Amino acid sequence: MRMVDIIEKKRDGRDLTTDEITWFIHELTAERIPDYQTAALLMAIFLRGMSRRETVDLTLAIARSGDQLDLHDVAPFVVDKHSSGGVGDKTTLVVQPLVAACGVPVGKMSGRGLGSSGGTLDKMESFTGWSSAMPLAQFKRQLAEIGLVLAGQTAVLAPADGKLYALRDVTGTVASTPLIAASIMSKKLAAGADAILLDVKTGSGAFMPTVESARELARIMVDIGADAGRKTVALISDMNQPLGHAIGNALEVKEAIATLQGGGPADFWAHCREVAAHMLLLAGKASDLDAAKTMVTEVRNDGRALQKFRDMVTAQGGDGRQVDNPDLLPQAQLVEPIHAPQTGTIATIDTAAVGWAAVHLGGGRLVKSDQIDHAVGFILRAKVGDHFAAGETMGEIHANDATKLAQARQELLTAIQWTGETVRPLPHFYGTIS
């Protein structure tokens, strides 16, 4: 087979065969396809889409591009969760320890930042020495001992996704239903979870702008999970404003720690509690959602969830002192307030623009080789429906460069639309697909 034929076929809107998809992923994994050809195919898929059969084929080929874990020798039932990507979405950092502290092992493969959305691995690398790269033996040992592992795309698990993900991030090919579905579900299948909770975001900061498109993505992922024999549930959640207050790697880690300590923004805690409770239900640990939420709240209040988080940080080489003293995490040199530019109520937030502003501060990548500045970002204590007087403080910008700070302030303020009318707060969730 020739890569150029496959690119042309998809460019012309025709379906790729199972053999063509399998061959492409095999050659990609063997590093026999140059980035420019992979990028061209990604763009063709982005523009032309994929049928359900092609999406399933792509998912399975990526899942098989490395090892496929069977974790049953160390954990009888493993639950995993994945978000489709958002701004300020540090949910994994809180939900994983909550669920593990309730006695349900969570072994998770996470990603890096993608487009305007942050990535769990980039956030966790705010901890000095923390690493997501690990041999399978460590993954299993840690799952057995702590019940909590946060691995990255490695040469071992779904390596093809790592290659595609890094290219999609910088070629404008992120927001594609088949590419997102295959990326998320291949990792989940390869990592051996028995049950999968999908947090599918919709809104101005999500790759799925409408509830309808989020439902479509959720539906195909739930179907792929069911075909593969995994219990899969998807929540459709709001991303028309950043989740919580912190946007930016170390800032988000600090907010996650505060939330595990019993504080943190109300919307973020409500979100984490709901996601964690659904995971407990999937694992059969609770009789109903309310009972599951009570369990989750208990392990937060008595410190067991924070202890799990600390255990995971140190098991993966991180400095546990930064959990107890988050001021030891990377700190920006410049911290300036954000003032409301006028009196009024926040009508809408272009959340992707806020995410891009954080990327431009240095918190994300514009090209594959960019180094992340973990310290930079925003604290935005402003939600749709909130009222501010002109000049009132809405949050802070954390930067390491005065020019970037000024630019980020401009981008952030432009992303917020004001009104003189009353605006209703946004819902957290739009439904569940199972």
For this structure, is 290 an active site residue? no
Find the shortest distance in angstroms from Cβ 180 to ligand URA: 4
For this structure, is 183 an active site residue? yes
Closest to 40 (Cα-Cα) out of 28, 51, 52: 28
Which of 3, 33, 101, 114 contacts ligand URA by CB under 6 A? Answer: 114
For this structure, is 215 an active site residue? no
Q: Do residues 67 and 179 lie in contact, with contact meaning Cβ atoms separated by under 8 Å?
A: no
Please report the beta strands in 18-136, taking only residues with DSSP state E, as ranges in sequence order.
79-83, 106-110
Q: Is 65 in the site for ligand URA (CB under 6 A)?
A: no
Which of 55, 59, 65, 84 contacts ligand URA by CB under 6 A? Answer: 84
- Is 65 or 84 the residue whose CB approaches ligand URA more closely? 84
Return the half-sphere exposure (C-beta side, CA atoms, 13 A cut-off) of residue 283: 25
Q: Pick the catalytic residue: 82, 112, 254, 273?
A: 82
For this structure, is 52 an active site residue? no
Return the half-sphere exposure (C-beta side, CA atoms, 13 A cut-off) of residue 189: 29
Closest to 283 (Cα-Cα) out of 98, 119, 424: 98
Find the shortest distance in angstroms from Cβ 287 to ligand URA: 31
CA 401 distance to own-chain centroid = 27
Q: Do residues 240 and 349 lie in contact, with contact meaning Cβ atoms separated by under 8 Å?
A: yes
Which of 10, 80, 85, 233 contacts ligand URA by CB under 6 A? Answer: 85
Closest to 433 (Cα-Cα) out of 208, 221, 233, 188: 233
Q: Is 134 in the site for ligand URA (CB under 6 A)?
A: no
Q: Pick the catalytic residue: 64, 108, 123, 187?
A: 187
**DSSP readout, 167-195?**
HHHTTT----HHHHHHHHHHHHHHTT-SE
What gap in Å lies between CA 254 and CA 379, rounded to an integer?
A: 11
Q: Pick the catalytic residue: 81, 140, 163, 168?
A: 168
Q: Is 111 in the site for ligand URA (CB under 6 A)?
A: yes
Q: Pick the catalytic residue: 161, 199, 267, 311?
A: 161
For 147, 252, 254, 318, 354, the CA distances from 321, given in Å and listed in that order, are: 21, 17, 13, 9, 31
- Is 111 or 205 the residue whose CB approaches ligand URA more closely? 111
Please work out the total of residues on this chain that contact ligand URA, with binding judged by CB under 6 A: 8
Find the shortest distance in angstroms from Cβ 86 to ligand URA: 9
For this structure, is 9 an active site residue? no
- Is 95 or 397 the residue whose CB approaches ligand URA more closely? 95
- Is 178 or 330 the residue whose CB approaches ligand URA more closely? 178
SS3 (DSSP) at 334: strand
100-106-108-113 Cα dihedral, nearest 10 degrees: -30
Find the shortest distance in angstroms from Cβ 162 to ligand URA: 10
Site string for ligand URA, 159-198 (x = CB under 6 A): --------------------xx--xx--------------
Residues labelled as active-site residues: 82, 161, 168, 183, 187
Give contact residues for ligand URA (rule: CB under 6 A): 84-85, 111, 114, 179-180, 183-184
